[in-house]
Amino acid sequence: STADKAIEIIADAGGIDINAHAGKDIDLAGGQINLTASHNTACTIYLRANAGTSETIKVHADQGTAEGSIELTSDAGGIDINAASGKDLDLAGGTINLTSSDDAGSAIYLRANAGTSETIKIHADQGSGEGSIELTSDAGGIDLNAAAGKDIDLAGGQINLTGAHNTACTIYLRANAGT
């Protein structure tokens, strides 16, 4: 038969197990693979490797060229990506566009919170233009804050401070920590 359900496996009251020897494969191939779970519970679809320290899980699109060649979507909830402490979360590609669609404070929040040796570094290896690293706020201000007793260090060829607000104290340098 050439129908979509040429072979159908149904268990009206029980489950279905597919098991193979640990050293053998389970191969599913076809036009599309549509995997849908209908149980309203945590881990409704659970993809897991649990065979040893060399195991990996890989989702791979061989020939897809669209921006969403691999897409993770949650229509009503969030998405968590977690890695073990001391291991990297590596994002690499053409450009990385991180956009929040939440109109809230801390809509994008980049945070390190693991100990006193932690740092956050934004680094452009080969950009040679004046705006190789750029911080821009189209409608609001930009705050740079450091702990009392710590420095905000600006170093480079020239430091150009330009105020574009036509008001008194357009550029205001103030020390207000003691006598």
Q: What pTM was estimated for this model as a whole?
A: 0.73
User: Per-residue confidence at 127, pLDDT binned at 50, 70, 90?
Assistant: very high
Q: Find out whether 34 and 28 touch, Cβ atoms under 8 Å.
A: no
The CB-side HSE value for 119 (13 A sphere, CA atoms) comes to 4
The rounded distance, in Å, linking the Cα atoms of 176 and 179 is: 8
| Number of CB atoms found within 10 A of residue 109's CB | 7
Which residue in this structure is represented by tokens 């740092």? 119
Instruction: Identify which of 85, 77, 71 has the alpha carbon closest to the alpha carbon of residue 114.
Output: 85
User: Per-residue confidence at 46, pLDDT binned at 50, 70, 90?
Assistant: very high
For the chain, the average pLDDT equals 91
Residues 6+ apart with CB under 8 A from 48: 57
Q: Find out whether 179 and 171 touch, Cβ atoms under 8 Å.
A: no
pLDDT at 101: 92
Instruction: Identify which of 143, 144, 121 has the alpha carbon closest to the alpha carbon of residue 133.
Output: 121
User: Per-residue confidence at 174, pLDDT binned at 50, 70, 90?
Assistant: confident
